[in-house]
Amino acid sequence: MTIEHTLREIGSRAKAASTQLQLLTTDEKNAILQAMANELHEHREVIKRENAKDLAFAETAQLSKALIDRLLLDDVRIDNMIASIRRIAMLPDPVGKILHEHEKNNGLLIKKIRTPIGVIAMIYESRPNVTADVSALCLKTSNAAILRGGKEALHTNQAILELLLAAGYKTGLPHHALQLITIPDHDAVRLLIQMPEYIDLAIPRGGPSLINMVVEHARVPVIKHDKGVCHTYVDKTASLDMALNICVNAKCQRPGVCNAMESLLVHEAIAETFLPRLQAAMEAHHVTLKGDHLSRKILPRIEEATDTDWYTEYLDLILSVKIVKDVHAAIYHINHYGSHHSDAIVSEDRAAQQLFVNQVDSSAVYINASTRFTDGGEFGMGAEIGISTDKLHARGPMGLEELTTYKYIIYGQGQVRG
């Protein structure tokens, strides 16, 4: 059987399952989700055993520390994965929600309601918790999901999905509602995203090469979870203690994730005071600093930043630093070099704050807070399927509502158009 034939079977089964999912009530979906959470809890040792195999492969393949950190599932992360499923079960079901209704003069009643998208192809790397998050979010929104994780997480992804399916099938989950593609060939992804007769939406979540390949070859709609070149701008009016705490958290709390700070912009009026404090704090966390010529006059020991650094998502303990003239210069830099993910201003100036949030073209813009909060769980969505850096049809963390579309339902009593 060829790869294409296998994928067409998977797609056909997913399409059939998507219609069956729409017959499930909210209570039935929630019961399945709770059963899934229980199954993961009861068999966490299976998950950790299979995860150990993937971690051993990652070490042998000399993957980066950031990728290995993304791959790791310990008890805390398994608990978080389980808690996310339970939170999703507790959230309102968006399917069937009436967004708008009105009655025309001719008696037609027109309703706009939320509906499932259909079949979602999720293509992702490293993080095996995505398998659980995507499965739960798609089930709650009555979407079928075809999952294609990276080879570095294959054992963990298979273990998680097998547990989810075991619980789901016992409690009414339609067969083939969740499927995992285990074909390692890169052609599998290319072929999958060229099947609009089966796939309604593709969401790539990974490195630039994966994103670019999907965008280039897809014949289905795509929402990108692109890189996170996230900035923090420290304004001249900022509380420096607050700014320091925010910067350390944004860079160091978990550097290998997409919402970690990669570039720091500092107003010229406070640079001589703030940058030495920043250097001491960052060196205590083993962060390598790279700076422009102005910041290196203040911090002569740091490395020189090149133009490439401003575009770079390090996913590591590396931070580029630049001194800017004012908030306007900071906004220009972010919009030019950033990835439209998450950016923050630390300032006590209301006018500067408002200018920043109005003009920075990113999916999440912060005032006096760490960019590390850009996350579906932190935003109250239970979990996320990804963080969209696009503008259509979703932007920022994608939760339940972002996994729906809508249709119009029109009620009549025999009306015809004259």
Same domain for 144 and 209, yes or no, is: yes
Structural domain contains residue 155: yes
For residue 221, what pLDDT is reported?
96
In CATH, what number is assigned to the domain containing residue 308?
A: 3.40.309.10
3-state DSSP helix/strand/coil % of the chain, to nearest 5: 45, 20, 35
Any idea what DSSP says for residue 222?
B
Task: Determine, yes or no, domain membership for 388.
Answer: no
367 in Cβ contact with 381 (< 8 Å): no
Please, which residues bridge with residue 180 across strands? Answer: 147
Q: Is 381 inside a domain boundary?
A: no
Helix (H), strand (E) at residue 201: strand 201-205
In a domain, 387, yes or no: no
Which strand ranges, in their side-by-side order, compose the sheet holding 178-180?
178-180, 144-148, 119-124, 201-205
pLDDT tens digits, one per residue of 189-239: 999 999 999 999 999 998 889 999 999 999 999 999 889 999 999 999 999
Residue 264 is assigned to a structural domain of this protein:
yes
Residues 213 and 258 in one domain: no
- 194 & 341 share domain: no
pLDDT given for residue 389 in this prediction:
92
Give the whole-angstrom CA distance, residue 10 versus residue 132: 19
Beta strands (DSSP E) in 206-256 are 230-234
Instruction: Tell me, yes or no, whether 148 lies in a domain.
Output: yes
CA geometry: angle 49, 65, 372, nearest 5 deg: 100
Same domain (yes/no): 102, 87: yes
Helix axes 26-42, 129-140, angle to 10 degrees: 160
Residue 362 lies in a domain: yes
Task: Examine the domain organization and report whether 237 and 343 are in the same domain.
Answer: yes
Q: Is 4 exposed, middle or buried (0-12, 13-18, 19+ CB in 10 A)?
A: middle
Residue 391 lies in a domain: no
Q: Residue 64 has what pLDDT?
A: 84
pLDDT digits (tens, 9 = 90+) for 29-78: 999 999 999 999 999 999 999 999 999 999 999 988 888 998 999 999 99
What is the tally of structural domains in the chain? 2
Residue showing tokens 């004259």: 418
In this structure, are 182 and 237 located in the same domain? no
One domain for residues 217 and 236:
no
3-class secondary-structure state, position 92: coil
- The alpha helices in 61-194, defined as continuous H runs, are 65-71, 75-90, 129-140, 154-170, 187-192
pLDDT computed for residue 66 by the predictor: 80
Same domain, 210 and 284: no
Mean pLDDT, each 10-residue run in order, the chain (418 residues):
94 98 98 98 98 96 87 97 97 98 97 98 94 98 97 97 98 98 92 98 92 96 93 98 98 95 98 98 98 98 98 96 98 97 98 98 98 95 92 94 98 96
Range of the domain at 37: 3-223+398-411
Domain shared by 210 and 61, yes or no: yes
Predicted local distance difference test score (pLDDT) of residue 207? 84
184 and 264 part of one domain: no
158 with 300, same domain: the answer is no
Kindly state whether residues 214 and 242 are assigned to the same domain. no
